[in-house]
């Protein structure tokens, strides 16, 4: 049961470093210089986005046998591992949310939109399909987002410039590959091959 919380937390925290939403957090922190409304916006947007992604993952997982689901998860984790190795860039549209809404609403909208189709959202779908405790997965992925983004909001450019992003992307990709290997093992077990 604890795996449903800890694995998603670690995976998303690693995957989020150097991600476009982390760059967005940096831009919002520099623009508004009010960290707490930005952090609150990140929490609200991530909970909403990852709850929807988790629901999709749990629903998706209910259609397949354990063996088929684990083969799908193995392929998905491999694809996400490769995707994690590619550095993200922030789109100008995502950074240009109007200032008239203030830091909380701007962060809420920008983060929610930036997470749609992002690798951490896809990871949430896959993790929710793999682990039976949906709310622990959602809490874990949200904690992972906060672990990666709160220091950026609080420390500004300093934190982002000092991190070895290539190494962190490789570690995140390795974590996704390990999840793929575990999924292959579980698929082979469910299929009766081992």
pLDDT by residue (tens digit) across 144-168? 999 999 998 988 655 555 656 677 6
Residue 105 has pLDDT above 70, yes or no: yes
Contact between 37 and 105 under an 8 Å Cβ cutoff? The reply is no
pLDDT by residue (tens digit) across 47-66? 999 999 999 999 988 888 88
Residue 74 has pLDDT above 90, yes or no: no
**Residue 166's closest CA among 86, 80, 82, 77?**
86
Distance CA 137, CA 134 (A): 5
Q: Where does the pLDDT of residue 98 fall: very low under 50, low under 70, confident under 90, or very high at 90 and above?
A: very low
For the segment 105-112, the average pLDDT, to the nearest whole number, is: 92
Burial of 194 (0-12, 13-18, 19+ CB in 10 A): exposed
Instruction: Return the pLDDT at 101.
Output: 77
Residue 137 has pLDDT above 70, yes or no: yes
Q: Where does the pLDDT of residue 94 fall: very low under 50, low under 70, confident under 90, or very high at 90 and above?
A: very low
Average pLDDT, the chain: 84
Q: What is the pTM for the complete model shown?
A: 0.74
């Amino acid at each position: 049961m604890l795996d449903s919380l800890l694995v998603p937390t670690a995976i998303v925290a690693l995957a989020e470093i150097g991600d476009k939403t982390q760059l967005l957090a940096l831009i919002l922190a520099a623009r508004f210089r009010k960290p707490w409304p930005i952090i609150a916006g990140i929490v609200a947007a991530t909970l909403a986005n990852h709850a929807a992604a988790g629901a999709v993952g749990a629903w998706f997982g209910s259609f397949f046998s354990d063996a088929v689901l684990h083969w799908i998860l193995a392929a998905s984790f491999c694809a996400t591992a490769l995707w994690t190795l590619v550095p993200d860039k922030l789109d100008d549209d995502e950074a240009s949310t109007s200032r008239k809404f203030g830091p909380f609403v701007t962060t809420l909208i920008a983060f929610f939109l930036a997470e749609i189709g992002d690798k951490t959202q896809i990871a949430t779908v896959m993790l929710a399909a793999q682990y039976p405790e949906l709310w622990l997965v959602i809490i874990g992925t949200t904690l992972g987002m906060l672990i990666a983004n709160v220091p950026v909001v609080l420390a500004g450019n300093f934190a982002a410039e000092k991190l070895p992003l290539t190494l962190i992307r490789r570690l995140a990709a390795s974590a996704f590959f390990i999840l793929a290997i575990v999924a292959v093992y579980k698929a082979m077990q469910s299929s009766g091959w081992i």
